[in-house]
Amino acid sequence: MNNNGKLLVGIKKDSIAYMAGMFDNSMVLQVQQANDIIDVIGEHVSLKKKGREMVGLCPFHDDHRPSMNVNPVKQIFKCFACGAGGDVFKFIQMRENLTFPQAIERLAERAGIKLERRQMPRRPRSGAEAGQTEHVEDIDPNRLAKANVWAAQYFQRNLRDTKLGKYARDYLAERQISPESIEKWQLGLAIDSPDGLVRESKANKSVLKLLEQAGLLVGHNQDKFVNRLMFTITDVTGRVIGFGGRTLDDNGAKYLNSPTTVLFDKSNSLYGLEQARHEIVSTGTAVVVEGYTDCIMAHQFGCGNVVAALGTSFTAGHGRILKRYARKVILIFDSDVAGIEAANRALDVCLAQRIDIKLATVPEGKDPCDFLLASGKEAFEQLIADAVDVFQFKWDRLREKFASEDTLAGKNSAIDEYLQAIATSMQSGKIHDIDLGIRVKQISKIIGLDDRQINAELNKRLKRLQRASSNENRGENVPLVDYGQGSFAGAQRDVLEVLLNEPKLYETVKQKITKDMFDVPILGQVAAILFETLDGDINAPLKEILARAESVELGNCIMELAAAGQKKGNFESILAGALVAIEQHRIEKEKLEIGALQDQTEYLRRWHNITSKRNSRVVPME
């Protein structure tokens, strides 16, 4: 622990490598250059211009105000709330939970660059590892995504097949889903066979294994999806992450989704986000429906800011995703009892996420797809325009429950729900004092308590929410790195902070010290990267230094050192002092080593060397 009570992370020297060497460094820089950081981060977060930089909500913590800055000139990002930072590789590593080589491959694929891997010699096992069983290979998200693409293409071929796909095409025609929508949304068909996908992939055993890891196979080489219309699920960047399947013969569940994998989690995925993202950002509004066909039909009618919640309840994960792109969210749910209850739960999630939320319900028991076909685009847009806010919905719900509930417990439950909604809005700053006063007056008339008692109850609930929020956020910040203690560790840090901001001073540094003199593990790793980079190009920008840092932690560390150095300034003076401190430490260390010598001649020789070089090693800069 440090003085601020925060956890210090010690990073082992061999646990974070710099540039693993799997790809040639020039190729890595080419990939970095081809992926503008504004474009890449803009696929995940809505960015707005602020001065010379872009700002947005940080996706690495529960951000309620734009805390992440992205610098288009330096091609770096930094969150000043949680500490996350780095170049485009580090962002993708953190955002998609990839290793450094996987992030390089992911961005190379995005830019259409063909990578060539170096042949790396197998590292011999250490004595501690000898005799241990082989570690099960981690699932590579990039390879899994490629397997999903392969499966998606197989399902699409089935749907296009003159004989195999006819009945599925007839169903789509009946639902009035156009050929253009079928193509746009990559719809497909899992044929009526328990092993159709297995047989298609048997020629390639590696594909078979990946399909199993993707959750497309179950049991003993059996297809998970049989006789189903297939919906291809992509992430915001267009990567195929999973599938949904609707039964075509009423066998089993009406809808099935891919299981949770390293790529797919339905609680953190939204159908149609890839297609809707730009419209959501430009309008500031996201419309959320329940089903795949609801989403597809909305886009077919020209309502391009609609996404679907994959047939699951609207979750906190969905809220966090939408908050990065939209200022306002409209939820459209069925008007039956199940739909209203689902909407009520979704509203609570959005309130807690500080999302501006409204609710619309489709009349006459229709779903949005049927409503669009029956009433058209204008009626659908009017439905959205007429959406009610959270408190109107909660108030109507309270009054209905009071009118229909005969028991005291039922009425208490309704009051509790309404009070909790108000307290949550107070905690998130989504209710103004005048609105609060109106709500308190309304509920006072129903339950017969005076305003003072109601406000006291709301304040109790507010304090509980604030305590809970404080506990949740306690572990949000990126853990601090152990930079060592004492003046020698401080001098090492000073040198790196200076060089990350004024690399031309490396000419002075390399005459005085070497990277091996850095004994704080994390600082030694930064020094190794920095010295190697500047040996090749003394004008190397920060993004090139970051491109050699393989781990997210090391990238965060470099960003933190660079920011600290920039804030201090006064580079030449700080560097001169640091070099003097490093030289003094070297001398003191050598004295201790000499004092332990038994040989008198060797002792005198080494003592003479120290005293003769003492005043010539470090010359302060003018």
pTM of the model: 0.71
Q: What string of DSSP letters covers 224-287? A: S--SEEEEEEE-TTS-EEEEEEEESSS-S-SEEEPPP-SS--GGG--BTHHHHHHHHHHHSEEE
What is the per-residue pLDDT for 610? 55
Instruction: Tell whether the model's pLDDT for residue 127 goes beyond 70.
Output: no
CATH number for domain 22-111, candidates 3.20.20.120, 2.40.30.170, 3.30.1130.10, 3.90.580.10: 3.90.580.10
What is the per-residue pLDDT for 600? 61
Instruction: Tell whether the model's pLDDT for residue 616 goes beyond 60.
Output: no
- Pick the residue with more confidence: 442 or 618? 442
Token readout for 181 is 């929508």
Instruction: Tell whether the model's pLDDT for residue 294 goes beyond 60.
Output: yes
Instruction: Tell whether the model's pLDDT for residue 612 goes beyond 70.
Output: no
What is the per-residue pLDDT for 364? 72
- Pick the residue with more confidence: 103 or 354? 103
DSSP letter at 51? Answer: T
| CB count in 10 Å sphere of residue 408 | 8
What is the per-residue pLDDT for 20? 45
232-291, pLDDT tens digit by residue? 999 988 999 999 999 999 888 899 999 999 899 998 899 999 999 999 999 999 999 989
CATH 3.30.70 for the 483-613 domain, yes or no: no
Instruction: Tell whether the model's pLDDT for residue 32 goes beyond 80.
Output: yes
- The set of long-range contacts for 444-452, using a CB threshold of 8 Å and a minimum separation of 24, is 446/398, 446/399, 446/402, 446/415, 447/415
What is the per-residue pLDDT for 297? 98
What is the per-residue pLDDT for 593? 63
pLDDT bin (cut points 50, 70, 90) of residue 102 is confident
Percent of the chain with pLDDT over 90: 50
Domain limits, CATH 1.10.860, in the chain:
483-613
CA end-to-end span of the chain = 39
pLDDT bin (cut points 50, 70, 90) of residue 31 is very high
Instruction: Tell whether the model's pLDDT for residue 117 goes beyond 90.
Output: no
Instruction: Tell whether the model's pLDDT for residue 90 goes beyond 70.
Output: yes
Domain limits, CATH 3.40.1360.10, in the chain:
141-387
Token readout for 220 is 């003993």
Using CA atoms, how far residue 425 sits from 324, 480, 598, in Å, is: 20, 33, 76
Angle at 316 between CA 298 and CA 286, to 5 degrees: 25
Instruction: Tell whether the model's pLDDT for residue 438 goes beyond 90.
Output: no
Q: What string of DSSP letters covers 426-466? A: HHHT-S-HHHHHHHHHHHHHHH---HHHHHHHHHHHHHHHH
Range with the lowest mean pLDDT among 478-482, 487-491, 554-558? 478-482
CATH 3.30.460.80 for the 141-387 domain, yes or no: no
Instruction: Tell whether the model's pLDDT for residue 322 goes beyond 80.
Output: yes
User: Which residues neighbour 592 within 8 Å (Cβ) at sequence distance 6 or greater?
Assistant: none
pLDDT bin (cut points 50, 70, 90) of residue 597 is low
Token readout for 379 is 């009626």
Rounded to whole angstroms, the Cα distance separating 384 from 554 reads: 47
What is the per-residue pLDDT for 244? 96
Rounded to whole angstroms, the Cα distance separating 443 from 422 reads: 11
Instruction: Tell whether the model's pLDDT for residue 404 goes beyond 50.
Output: yes
Domain limits, CATH 3.90.580.10, in the chain:
22-111
What is the per-residue pLDDT for 234? 96
412-423, pLDDT tens digit by residue? 777 877 788 788
pLDDT bin (cut points 50, 70, 90) of residue 601 is low
Instruction: Tell whether the model's pLDDT for residue 400 goes beyond 90.
Output: no
What is the per-residue pLDDT for 42? 92
